[in-house]
A and B are shown apart, each in its own frame.
Chain A
Amino acid sequence: MNAIEAAHVTKVYRRYARRRQFATLKSALLSGTLLRDIKPDDVFSAVKDVSFAVPAGTTYGIIGRNGSGKSTVLKLVAGITKPTSGEVRVAGRISALIELGAGFHPEISGRENVFINAVMLGLTKREIAKRFDEIVEFAEMEDFIDAPVKTYSSGMYMRLGFAVAIHVDPDVLLVDEVLAVGDEGFTHKCLDKFAEFRRRGKTILLVTHALSLVERFCDEALWLDAGEVRGGGDPRRVVSAYIADVTKSEERELAAGDRKAQAIVAQQAAEAPPPALAPEPVEPPAEPPGAAEPPADMSKAVEGRWGTREVEIVAVELVGEDKQAGHIFQSGERVAVRMTVRAAEPVTDFVFGVGIFNAEGVCVYGTNTAIEEYLPERLEGECQVGFCIDGLDLVAGTYKLDVAVHQSQGATYDYHRSLYTFRVKSAVADMGVYRPRHRWEFSPHIVIARRRHE
């Protein structure tokens, strides 16, 4: 038997143009447009033809990006809003953990609010009296239950709201991203409560961004994207498909960000005097001659490009292990920075440099061919330079890349400051900026079970 059944559910929100927003009863009456104005100018489908069924006694997860319609689906199942078309059927008593403590009145005590909240959620007076102590104990509110709710901290408020909603003893529990209430201990208690619900054969519909929770808890998952079902079924499979999609769109986003930064810099360069007439660095003028590596104030993360362009960097790509240019890499992956440079006239004095900065602007690594004692002889026409990293041993995060070509005495041919972004992903949530290749060793007296991911 299915506890929740949604068949071809579509929810259309009406969007009104500016005119309508400021239209009032008066104008509606005067111009006789009362009925017409109630009609929307534009419609927006938050949920499009979504169908799913949740068998009774299972835990069902809904994942998806912000604005993908997850919460709308939850509200439709809860009956707070009605579908524009299609049908939602729910068997049994529902409790929705959508907004915790909605309807608490700030002026009256927690005790009275618990009572009224429980009545709102459908309990009878006798049921409330029976469960009251349990609710207060679960919320850890014994000392404050008689204080007015306005004096509560937001954590206390949420805890009390959660405790009431969970003690309604629903057949179907709808949970919208509310596990982040209270401290670690309380979160565990909530998860235990969910587990207890599962044991007792109740149905849970969970909307969350915590993908690990979906993998761990859910029997089935649904992936919504822009109001449409993108996938469903086994949670592990759905989650990994979702993660792959998120990575893809992150990639697009980073690429778009880089293009934008480069376009702005190109535009600034076009407005500046032609580089050939300005042999001095255009920007920043204070760059000390002879600096072979980025100067100290480079840590200020400003995007920019300067130099005489006698040698020009025309393209920069980051190439990962899959031989594809990209912006997202796994920590430890083999990555190459590929630069295409062009020298209109042959030059004999040239140094290639690379700098990697983390999001805080800390230089994670910087080097150039002069430091590493490559002696330049001649560069002419269009050529390729590769900076090959055998293992990108960085912790997870977003990094900016500087690339440059300049003379060994420091006069810059072309400097690209923070014009390239890449993101490092990692399965391990370690800290810092650099991950040395490492392993742990334990003497035989220390017993370690095998690692979770192996």
Chain B
Amino acid sequence: MFQNLARLFRYRTLIQSLVARELKARYRGSVLGFFWSFVNPLLLLLIYSFVFTVVLPSRVAPDLQPYALFMFCGILPWTWFSSSLLESSNVLIAGGNLIKKVLFPAEVLPIVTVVANMVHFFLGLPILAAFLLYYRHAPISLAEIAWFPVVILVQLLLTLGLALVVSALTVHFRDIKDLLSNLLTFWFFATPIIYPMSLMTEYPLSYRLLNLNPFTHLAVSYQEILFYPGPFGHWRWLLALGAASMALFLAGYFVFDRLRDSFAEEV
């Protein structure tokens, strides 16, 4: 397994070019092309702004204003996470030709999915930054900025680990795909993205359960760094999650590696 893992490093050119292809192919033929990567999150943010300022003027606590911006801090990484998992559930089956007919390192496929979605996430960041500036939101200290890549790295590890497991298992159990899309909807609402974690302090049980959800800590980290004023106070949780994510990634790779030989036959 560790040999294979080391080999992964040699595939970086392959991963790189496949990610580039993925991004190019996605918008090929559309008028706006690459701009969709910017326009999509922008439109999303505008819709939320409209809904929460005009349709449902928010009654939430004043520290959550502007509410749309608060949500956007969580939704952007969530989109990366959920699209990666959804797409990777299908990625081995869609790439069946490669797995069956070419000597191809199968783990590259889910990794490419996750990385391509990460690039989309990155492309959404300038929009987020622009709005943060526009609202002249709480100044972000350098120390907080330094934590930002750490959050992203933890999310990358977590997503990769899950994507590897999901993609490998879906080859054997095709209904994971449908199961997953519903699970992700539930997961979204079980994560403090459209509501603040502070709301949950009144309900100890929910609070504890939410703490068990790994994405809670990612969402809270993003919100603390980008949205809330003050220093980043969630770092202990984040580092713990980072360690857990590393373990999950290794476990995910282990599962994938064990099932690898069955792909060519089952896809």
Residues of A at the B interface (CB closer than 8 Å) are 13-14, 24-26, 28, 38, 75, 78-82, 94, 96, 98-99, 102-103, 105, 107-108, 112, 115-116, 119-121, 124-125, 148
Contact = CB atoms under 8 A, between A and B. Distances in A.
A94 B175 contact: no
Q: Which of A75, A78, A80 has the most CB of B within 10 A?
A: A80
B103 A79 contact: yes
A98 B100 CA distance: 10
B104 A108 contact: no
Interface string B86-118: 000000000101111111100000000000000
B265 to A, nearest CB: 6
Nearest to A112: B21
A82 B25 CA distance: 33
> Which residue, of B29, B99, B102, has the highest number of chain A Cβ atoms within 10 A?
B102
Contacts of A115: 17
A81 B101 contact: no
Question: B99, B103, B179 — which one has the most chain A CB atoms within 10 A of its CB?
Answer: B103
B16 to A, nearest CB: 9
B101 A99 contact: yes
Contacts of B145: none
A400 B21 CA distance: 57
B28 interface: yes
Nearest to A95: B103
Contact of A80 (B18, B101, B174): B101
A75 B264 contact: yes
Given A116-B17, A125-B13, 13 more contacts: A38-B172, A79-B103, A80-B100, A80-B102, A98-B101, A99-B101, A99-B102, A103-B98, A103-B102, A112-B24, A116-B14, A116-B21, A124-B13
A102 B102 contact: yes
Contacts of B97: 99, 102-103
Dominant secondary structure of chain B at its interface with chain A: helix
Interface string B172-214: 1111100100000000000000000000000000000000000
A28 B173 contact: yes
B28 A107 contact: yes
B261 interface: yes
A44 to B, nearest CB: 11
Given A28-B173, A119-B17, A94 B28 contact: no
A120 B175 contact: no
B14 A120 contact: yes
A148 B97 CA distance: 19
A119 B13 contact: yes
Contacts of B17: 115-116, 119
25 contacts: A24-B174, A25-B173, A25-B176, A28-B173, A80-B101, A80-B103, A80-B264, A94-B103, A96-B103, A99-B97, A102-B97, A102-B98, A102-B102, A103-B97, A103-B102, A105-B21, A107-B28, A107-B29, A108-B28, A115-B17, A116-B14, A116-B21, A119-B17, A120-B98, A120-B102
A25 B13 contact: no
Nearest to B14: A119
B265 A81 contact: yes
Contacts of B265: 13-14, 81
A349 B174 CA distance: 74
Nearest to A24: B175
Contacts of B104: 103, 120
Contacts of A112: 21, 24
Contacts of B169: 25
Contacts of B18: 116
B87 to A, nearest CB: 15
A25, A28, A78: most-surrounded residue (chain B CB, <10 A)? A25
Nearest to A23: B173
Contacts of B103: 78-80, 94, 96
A140 B180 CA distance: 46
A42 to B, nearest CB: 14
B179 A25 contact: yes
A108 B264 contact: no
Contact of B102 (A25, A26, A98, A124): A98
Contacts of A24: 173-175
A304 B18 CA distance: 62
B31 to A, nearest CB: 15
A96 B102 CA distance: 7
Nearest to A113: B21
A107 B27 CA distance: 9
- Looking at A28, A107, A148, which has the most chain B CB atoms within 10 Å of its CB? A107
Contacts of A121: 102
Contacts of A26: 175
Contacts of A82: 261
Contacts of B261: 81-82
